[in-house]
Amino acid sequence: MRWPPTVALPVALVLVLSLAFGCGGEPSPGDGDGGGGDGGGGGDGGAIDAPDGTPACDAPASFADGLAPTRLLHVAAGAGGGGDGSVGRPFATIQQAAAAATPGTAIRLGPGEHTSGQYVAGLRGTATAPIWIGGEPGQPRPVLRGAGQALHLVRPAYVVVHDLEVTGQTANGLNVDDGGDFADDTAAHHVVLRDLHVHDVGTGGNNDCIKVSGVNDLHVLDSRIERCGAGGSGIDHVGCHRSVVARNAFAGAMSTAVQAKGGSTDVDVRQNRIAITGPRAVNLGGSTDLDLFRPPLSTSAPNAEARRIRVFANVITGLGDTATPFAFVGCIDCLAAHNLVRGRQRWNVRILQETASGGGYTFEPAANGRVLANTFVFAAASLSTAVNVGGGTDAASFTFSHNLWYASDGGSSTPSLPVTETGGVVGQASGYGHLPDDPQAPITAACVGAPEAGAGVHVPEVTGTLAGACRAAPPAAATIGPQDGC
C-alpha cells in the first residue's frame, strides 16, 4: 500500500487505527512502470499489513497496476524543437510527445521546469497497454508551473499521470474531461492520477487543483493537494462514475477537499487525511448547472446530484468554526463511515438540497444517507447543532448509528439528530483525538485505549483500515479504536 508523501505509519499504529479506517478491495500491486520514486520528497510510506500478517484490505487496484511500458519517449526541460523523443533528442513538450505516443508508451519528463499549459486530446491507450505521463524513476518530480492549466486531457482512455509537481495555474491545476460528449460514457475513462503534488492553484475563486468532468473509472492516489482556489476543490468530480480517491493528503485553502456532483455515482473517498480551511471537507453532491450533468438529465425519471458517494476511513482534522466534515447535498444512498473528525466545526453533518425540481426536471431530495461509526470531536462553543437540516430534504430517511460524540471543551456532547441513533457513545473522550492536524505529519502515537472499542457496527463497504489492514468483525470492530483491545 502507498501513503501520502512523508507519512509513515509504524506497525504499532496499525492497531491503533485498525478499526476506524479502510474498506474492501484487493491489495494494489506495484504499478510496474518503474515510476514510483520521485527523489523529491514524494514516494510512499511502504506497505503495511495487519500485525498478524493478514492480507491488506487496501483501496482496489487500478487497471494499470502490474503493467509496464514497452516504449519510452523522453521530454526534457528547455529542449529545442525537432526532437524525436530519444534520450539524445528529447521532445520539448508533453504535447509533442503525446502526438507520437502509442499504446504502451511512457512519456518520461526529466527533472526541471517544463512547459505548462499543455492540451492533449484523444490520448488513448488500451487495457493492457496504457499510456503514462510522468517523471523519470528515481528523479525529482518535474514541475509544471503557471499558465491557465498545467495539463488538460480531453477524451483520454487508459492513461496514467504520475510523479509531477503542478503549481501556479490561474484556472485549474489538472483538468480531465469528456470533451463535451456528455451522453457518451466511453468518452473519457480509465484514468489514474497518482503520486502528484498539486498546490497553490487559482486566483482565489472557484479554481480546482484537479478537475474531472465526465470521467469514468478514475483513480486519484497517493498525492499531496494543497492550497487550491479558496472557492474551489482539491478534486472536483462533475458527472463522474466509479472513482476511487485514496491515500491522499489535502491541506490549506480550498472550499472542499473532494466534491462529487453533477450526476456522479459510485465515488469512494477513502484513507485520506484532510486538513483544509474551507467550509466542507467532503461535499457529497452539490449544485450543478442543469446542462452539465453526465449523463444528461431525464425528463421522465427522477434525477439526483449524486448517488452512492461513500466517504470512509479518513482522518479529518483542524476544521474551522464555519465548517462541516460531511455535507450531504442532494445525495442519494450516500455514506460517511469510520472517519475520525476533530476540530471546531460548526456542524458535524449537513443535509441540504441545493438543486430543486423545475424546468421540466424532477430532483430527488437528499435521502437514505448513512452516518455510521464515526468519531466526532468538537468544541461545543463553536457547534451550532450536530446536524444541520436544510429545506427540501428527507432527513428522516437517514440512519445514524454507533458514532462517538465528544465536546472537547467541556460543553454538552449530546447531539441533536433528525432520527434516533442506535449504539452511540456520548461524552467520552476519543482515544484518538490527539492525532496531528498536519496531514503531512507522521502518525506516531502509541496504542491507547478508547471508549469506542467494542462499540462497533458492521458496514459492508468498510472492511479495512486507514493503513489498508483488514478489519476485525464486530464487536471487536470499534468505531475508531484498537483491535481486540490492543
Does a structural domain hold residue 114? yes
Cell 503534488 sits at which residue? 197
pLDDT at 309 over 60: yes
Average pLDDT over residues 261-270: 98
**Of 48, 49, 43, nearest in space to 31 by CA:** 43
**Cross-strand bridge partners of residue 45:** none
Predicted pLDDT of residue 410: 95
More confident residue, 460 or 64: 64
pLDDT at 32 over 60: no
Predicted pLDDT of residue 463: 72
Asked if the bond preceding 295 is cis, omega within 30° of 0, the reply is yes
- In tens, the pLDDT along 96-128 reads 999 999 999 999 999 999 999 999 999 999 999
Least confident range from 177-191, 210-224, 288-302, 436-450: namely 436-450
Q: How is residue 304 written as a grid cell?
A: 439526483
User: For residue 269, which amino acid is it?
Assistant: V
State the total domains in the chain. Answer: 1
Does a structural domain hold residue 28? yes
Least confident range from 150-154, 281-285, 370-374: namely 370-374
pLDDT at 277 over 50: yes
* pTM of the predicted model as reported, rounded to 2 decimal places: 0.88
Does a structural domain hold residue 5? no
For the chain, state the CA radius of gyration: 22
Predicted pLDDT of residue 81: 82
Predicted pLDDT of residue 451: 56
Does a structural domain hold residue 217? yes
Domain containing residue 138: 11-485
Predicted pLDDT of residue 355: 97
Cell 498478524 sits at which residue? 52
Cell 500500500 sits at which residue? 1
Separation CA 339–CA 2 (nearest Å):
19
- In tens, the pLDDT along 40-87 reads 333 333 233 434 343 368 999 999 999 999 999 999 999 988 899 999
Cell 482556489 sits at which residue? 229
Predicted pLDDT of residue 368: 98
Q: How is residue 278 written as a grid cell?
A: 474551507
Instruction: Taking the CA atoms of 433, 434, 439 and 442 in sequence, report the sign of the dihedral they define.
Output: negative
| CA dihedral of residues 234, 271, 452, 368 (deg, nearest 10) | 70
**Of 166, 247, 44, 274, nearest in space to 259 by CA:** 274
Does a structural domain hold residue 466? yes
Residue 434: C-alpha distances to residues 151, 178, 277, 438, 477 (Å): 38, 43, 19, 12, 21
Question: For the chain, what percentages of helix, strand and coil (3-state, to nearest 5) are there?
Answer: 5, 35, 60
CATH number at residue 132: 2.160.20.10
Does a structural domain hold residue 2? no
Beta-strand relationship, 349-352 and 324-329 = parallel
Confidence band, pLDDT 50/70/90 cuts, at residue 441: confident
- In tens, the pLDDT along 354-388 reads 999 999 999 999 999 999 989 999 999 999 999 99
Least confident range from 290-304, 370-384, 438-452: namely 438-452
Does a structural domain hold residue 6? no
472 near 483, Cβ under 8 Å? Answer: yes
pLDDT at 94 over 90: yes
pLDDT at 37 over 70: no
- In tens, the pLDDT along 383-434 reads 999 999 999 999 999 999 999 999 999 999 999 999 999 989 899 888 776 7
- In tens, the pLDDT along 231-259 reads 999 999 999 999 999 999 999 999 999 99
Q: How is residue 328 written as a grid cell?
A: 450531504
The gap from C-alpha 251 to its chain's centroid, in whole angstroms, comes to 12
pLDDT at 353 over 60: yes
More confident residue, 327 or 39: 327
Phi then psi for residue 444, to 5 deg, are -125, 10
